[in-house]
Amino acid sequence: MSGPSQVQSLFTKVHRYVGLTLAFFLIIIAGTGSIIAFYDDLERTFNARMRVVVPQEKGWTLDDALRVRAQLEAQDPRSHVFSLQFPQKPDEALFSRVMPAIDPVSGRPFEIDYDEVFANPYTGERLGQRVIGAATLRPEGLPSFLYYLHYALIFPLGLGILLIGSLGLVWAFEVLTGIYLTLPPKPKKSKAGNPPRPFLKRWSTSWKVSKGNNSNRFILDLHRASGLWLWALLLIFAVSGFAMNLGGYYAAIVSKFADYEHFQEAPPRPPLKEPLLNPPVDWFQAAELGQRYFAEQARVEGFTLGKPAALEYRRDLGLYFFLMHTSRDLLDGQGNPTETNSPATAATIAIDARDGRFVGLQLPRGQRSGNTVTSWLMALHVTAIGGRPVQIAVSLFGLLVVGISVTGVLLWWRRRKARRPKPRRAANVPNPKGEPAKGGATR
């Protein structure tokens, strides 16, 4: 059997050094990912003060939630509550995202020290606020910190998202080169004229872990075989990580090959010259229009409506995004909608904040082929489908990725040590037994 070709040797070096660069990041990303697969459970356990409320028989309405939003802004005029996620369970708090309001005097954003606010949807009580991903070891802030580490590491949000999204593409390339390197080399022609073993039989060795006593061979087999058995998941999580962090770039690529739209990351129209701070269409009108447009689109597209999921206003675009759960959602193991702020699991309608005009509809599946495939990829990544079994499987997968990264580094380190020249003992220097060094001159 012939040895590796020049191309294989080149890809071996590329795979090795790209892998070494990725290993540090993957250990953190996959390690935190194995924990935040249970993010909602962790938040409800450690951050119950802000996440969990006592259900009330009277319930709450969409207007109630919007009044709470206005109240939150009135409590701190420096803040602009731009995104409101409506509770899907009776004991869930009202969750909102915040950015600084614009100072009407200076025209510059105010300074605020938080970007998330939680409130009781029944009473309007402000339950708490925080900065997403603030470094802390306090139990109530730990899930958020781990979540931030997962998608931005320790960098500022914009830089971290750009870095992790780019690493997703690099990781996908690394997975593909890894598969290529497991392929058996082209066999030499037998002198006796015997046919070579079939390709699959020769490749099957790469899928197995040897039971010999050679520890280096064992580590190599473990690294190679685990990467092969998991290659489809590795590729899925690499691509979906890129899509979730750099959705605009992902949309630009995918839309060249398939029908795909992502309103929040690739808006249906360019930004306005100046932010629209006080739109003619207010939040209450946007909610009414959103429900009306959804009812109309449900008849046209043939889907049924569920609960309102979220309402967001983009002042840079002058657009409202109204999210609603529908029969086109991807559901969890119990058939419930999850991840209300994700385009993978809730439909979105864009509304012009200047005149209330319907701008567009985005469904998770069954509308555009690119959206359908992407929704499944994203929903798997964030464990929004399949319930507890998928959460456990994704958590174990994260630990296996850590193991693949560690074995890759260990392989490199052992080979590096093996290549180091051993120090030679100088001639005529006696050894510890008082005898001359081997090969040295004797008197």
Chain mean pLDDT for the chain:
88
User: Of 137, 374, 92, 142, which is closest to residue 382 (Cα–Cα)?
Assistant: 374
How does pLDDT run across 417-433, given as a tens digit for each residue?
Answer: 777 766 665 555 555 55
- The two three-digit tokens of residue 171, written as one number: 């990781």
pLDDT computed for residue 400 by the predictor: 96
> What is the predicted pLDDT for the residue at 443?
33
pLDDT exceeds cutoff 90 at 32: yes
User: How distant is the alpha carbon of residue 207 from its chain centre?
Assistant: 28
Task: Kindly state the tokens that stand for 139.
Answer: 């139990």
Q: Residue 235 is inside which H or E element, if any?
A: helix 231-245
Q: Are strands 116-119 and 94-100 parallel, antiparallel or unpaired?
A: antiparallel
3-state SS assignment for residue 166: helix
DSSP assignment of 70-126: HHHHHH-TTEEEEEEE--SSTTBPEEEEEEEPBPTTT-SBPP-S-SEEEE-TTT--E
How far apart CA 225 and CA 211 sit, in angstroms, is: 13
pLDDT in tens, 395-404: 999 999 999 9
Give me the pLDDT at residue 133, please: 83
Q: Give me the pLDDT at residue 441, please.
A: 39
238-258, pLDDT tens digit by residue?
999 999 999 889 999 999 999
Reported pTM: 0.86
So what's the pLDDT on residue 442? 37
Share of the chain above pLDDT 90, in %: 64
Residue 297 has pLDDT above 60, yes or no: yes
Q: What is the DSSP letter of 246?
A: S
Helices 157-182 and 142-152 cross at an angle (nearest 10°) of 60
Residue pLDDT, tens place only, 318-375: 999 999 999 998 866 555 655 555 666 789 999 999 999 999 999 999 999 999 999 9
CA end-to-end span of the chain: 52
**Residue 284, CA distances (Å) to 59, 87, 321 in order:** 19, 17, 13
What does the alpha-carbon distance between residue 90 and residue 128 come to, in Å, rounded to a whole number? 19
Residue ranges per structural domain of the chain = 48-138
**What is the per-residue DSSP string for 394-432?**
HHHHHHHHHHHHHHHHHHHHHHHHHHSPPPPPPTT---T
What's the rounded Cα separation, in Å, for the pair 225 and 207?
5
Question: What pLDDT does 62 receive?
Answer: 96
Say what the pLDDT of residue 266 is. 86
Residue 415: band (very low, low, confident or very high) from pLDDT cuts 50, 70, 90: confident
Other CB atoms within 10 A of residue 208 CB: 11
